[in-house]
Structure 1
Amino acid sequence: MARTRFDICLDEVLRHEGGYVDHPSDAGGATNLGITHKTLARWRNISPWWKLPKAEVRALGRAEAARIYRASYWNRSKAGNLPAGLDLALFDFAVNSGPDRAIRTLQAELGVLADGQVGPLTLAAVRARDVAGLIAALCERRLGFLNRLSTFPTFGKGWTNRVAAVRKAALAALAAAGTPIAPISPSSNWSIAVDFLNGYKTYVVAVIMLLAAGAQLLGVELPALDGASAGQMIMEALAIIFLRKGLKGDIGKA
């Protein structure tokens, strides 16, 4: 039976994670096969998490660890939808620093909305990029984040070696796959543009209103806007902007 990309990437992750540790400077606490005490308790629906004895963490087997990795990191980051090599780079980043941060870092590099969700827009942006360059850039951003952590003096050498090893393995996987990443067609580019504008349409409307108000203040007649004063449009535009920001913040806290 052929091994899947998940199996191969998990081998690389576990090569760096190792066995049971309980380092006093590690915020994760007791950890085995890279699975923390809290993560294992949540996986087993034990609340509060500290009710799970540390002995259970020590006894964790690879089979259960693999199920946790697949559900909480591989599937969460949509690594299975990414080109060989980039799947490993994002998966290992997600395991080490959390899926949300790993995905947002990838999205920041791609120049798409960093919402922590790998959807069609993110995948389309990946297809438009040189994958080798994207792997290198993601690893650089990851290392930059790790360098800013207060625990870098303690764990920095290991983290740096890990990122270097993952980058090497990811680039090797990409070369072995030998599958060129096709550029996005013009229709796909149009779809990306529409998605982008759809996400910011309230801001677009507000900007148009501010421009129209500015034109009125300069004495430019805009017949289509008869009856709306410049001051009224400015106030409404600002209300739109702050209302959207408020809604976005409330949704993010939900």
Structure 2
Amino acid sequence: MSPAAMDRFDACAAAVMAARGPFLPYDPLFEGPSAHGIGLGLLSVWVGGPADETALRRLGADGAARILQQMVWAPLGAGRLAAGPDLALFAYAAEAGTMQALSDLQEELGVAPSGAPDAATIAAAASREPALLASAIRRRHDAWRRARGLGPEAATLRPAC
């Protein structure tokens, strides 16, 4: 990852992790404990087996950032997006999963659904005004949350990192 892309990831990860908090014994989003935006499911995939609350309590910000970079940011191709849409898509995927976030992005952009950050998706995203695209992604994220009985996305996830 280039230094500029790493700076973008660091800023976006810091925003998402700050919004989610260091440890929650019960996070309604994950229906269980979470730390830095990581639930037991993602941590279990990361470690290759069952994870527990103790493992989440021990998860520091650096460890969470590594997980988010490799399991969410990179598969999204977020480093290839403009500032604003990168954070909006990353925040959405951290909650809903990369496939949901990418599917909604591709639908928003009117490109064929591939489930991957392919060339057509990145080019279509680059052709849009970043602030408008970020707003559209946040609206889809909010709709996803409402469909699950969750409140709107936290305002702390809305800064341009």
Bin for the TM-score computed over the shorter chain: 0.7 to 0.9
Is the partner of 1:76 in helix, strand or coil?
Answer: helix
Quote the residue 2:126 is aligned against.
127
Deviations 1:169-223 (A, max 9, x none): 13xx5xxxxxxxxxxxxxxxxxxxxxxxxxxxxxxxxxxxxxxxxxxxxxxxxxx
Distance 1:102 1:58, change over 3 A: same
Cα distance, 1:54 vs structure 2: 2.1
Matches of 2:40 and 2:153, distance apart in 1? 25
CA contact (8 A) 1:28 1:37 kept: no
Give me the TM-score of the superposition, normalised by structure 2.
0.88
- The match for 1:11 is 14
Q: Is the 2:34–2:40 contact (alpha carbons within 8 Å) kept by the matching residues of 1? A: yes
Are residues 27 and 34 of structure 1, via their aligned partners in 2, closer, same or farther at CA, if it must alter by over 3 Å? Answer: closer
Q: Give SS of 2:26's match.
A: coil
Higher relative contact order (CA 8 A, sep 6+): 2
1:34 CA drift (Å): 1.4
Mapped partners of 1:84, 1:28: distance in 2: 31
Q: What's the % identity of the aligned pairs?
A: 33
- For normalisation by structure 1, the TM-score amounts to 0.57
* Equivalence for 1:81: 80
What residue identity is the alignment partner of 1:8? A
* Change beyond 3 A, Cα 1:25–1:121: closer
CA distance in 2, matches of 1:105, 1:83: 17
Pick the structure with more helix per residue. 1
Query: Which stretches of structure 1, 4 residues or more, deviate above 6 A after TM superposition?
Result: none
CA deviation digits over 1:86-138, x for unaligned, max 9?
Answer: 11111111101111111111111100112221110101111222222111111
Aligned counterpart for 1:37 among listed residues 36, 40, 47: 40
Query: Aligned to 1:30, what secondary structure does the other structure show?
Result: strand
1:27 deviation in Å?
A: 4.0
Q: Which residue of 2 aligns with 1:166?
A: 157
Counterpart in 2 of 1:96? 95
What is the number of equivalent residue pairs in this alignment? Answer: 158
Q: Report the Cα offset of residue 143 of structure 1.
A: 1.1
> Higher Cα Rg: structure 1 or 2?
1
- 1: CA distance between counterparts of 2:93 and 2:136? 16
Give unpaired runs (5+ residues) of structure 1. Answer: 174-254
Cα pair 1:112 1:121 within 8 Å, conserved:
yes
- Output aligned runs, 1:108-147, within 5 Å: 108-147=107-146
**Matching residue of 1:107:** 106
Q: What 5-or-longer segments of structure 2 have no aligned partner?
A: none
1:27–1:13: structure 2 CA closer, same or farther, 3 Å change rule?
closer
**Residues in 2 aligned to 1:112 and 1:106: alpha-carbon distance in whole angstroms:** 9
Q: Distance in 2 between matches of 1:54 and 1:41?
A: 11
Q: CA RMSD in A?
A: 2.0
